Structure 1
Amino acid sequence: MAGGAQLSVTDMRRSARHPVDHLVIAEHRERGDLRLHIANISAHGFMTDHSPKLERGGRVMIRLPVIGRIEAYCIWTTEDRAGFQFERIIRQDDFTAIIRELQPNPRLRSKG
């Protein structure tokens, strides 16, 4: 059985992404603690902006409301943004609760 990051996520990119404004301290194995600003999130992953330079395939551990600690893998980077895939998909009921915490403005929340 193969382990590690599955970095081919083209099908998952269709997941609804929700805009958020959330700062986290990410634990990186080689670089220690990093401040990341999560700009959008889905049940499959998140995007950061104003990110420190990270390499594709790099792993971070973050803490989110409701679910606590979760590992994520960097799947793409640009000059100041990076996209991460969670190690596992967040259950829909947990994800809905996360969005309620991170998007206090109900007009920003998805109707789905």
Structure 2
Amino acid sequence: MSSAVSYADQREVERDLVDYRARGFGPDARPLSLQIVNISPHGMMARLETNYVAGQRIRVTLPVIGVMVAEIRWALGGRIGCSFDVAIDRASYYELLATMLKR
């Protein structure tokens, strides 16, 4: 049995699956529309039509929370994985998650 574990398996915080359309601004300050597919207090994965690269920063407007600044950690085939600059506190996160899942 191999002791190798994929990066996703090593993630300390599990992500919650969502299907939420959000708006924000890209690194060039242009408006962007994205479909958030999973989220945690520390980051998210989203689909979008604009091509970005790792290291760029975006701003995303989330319900309950407001604007979050996030660094793109990876970008592949219309999807991005982001890490929030500041983690969402637990109480606000659960309220955010409840709002995203209501639809």
TM-score normalized by the length of structure 2: 0.83
Tell me which amino acid in the other structure corresponds to 1:35. S
C-alpha displacement of 1:70: 1.0
2:28 aligned partner: 30
What is the total number of aligned residue pairs between the two structures?
Answer: 97
Contact 1:44 1:88 (C-alpha < 8 Å) held by counterparts: yes
Contiguous gaps of at least 5 residues in structure 2 = 1-6
Cα RMSD (Å) of the superposition? Answer: 2.2
Q: Confirm or deny that 1:65 pairs with 2:70.
A: no
Identity of aligned residues (%): 27
SS at match of 2:11: helix
Q: Distance in 1 between matches of 2:75 and 2:27?
A: 18
Tell me which amino acid in the other structure corresponds to 1:63. T
Q: Distance in 1 between matches of 2:91 and 2:13?
A: 15
1:77 aligned partner: 75
TM-score normalized by the length of structure 1: 0.77
Cα distance, 1:13–1:67 mapped onto 2, change above 3 Å: same
Tell me which amino acid in the other structure corresponds to 2:100. L
Contact 1:37 1:51 (C-alpha < 8 Å) held by counterparts: no
1:49 aligned partner: 47
C-alpha displacement of 1:31: 5.6
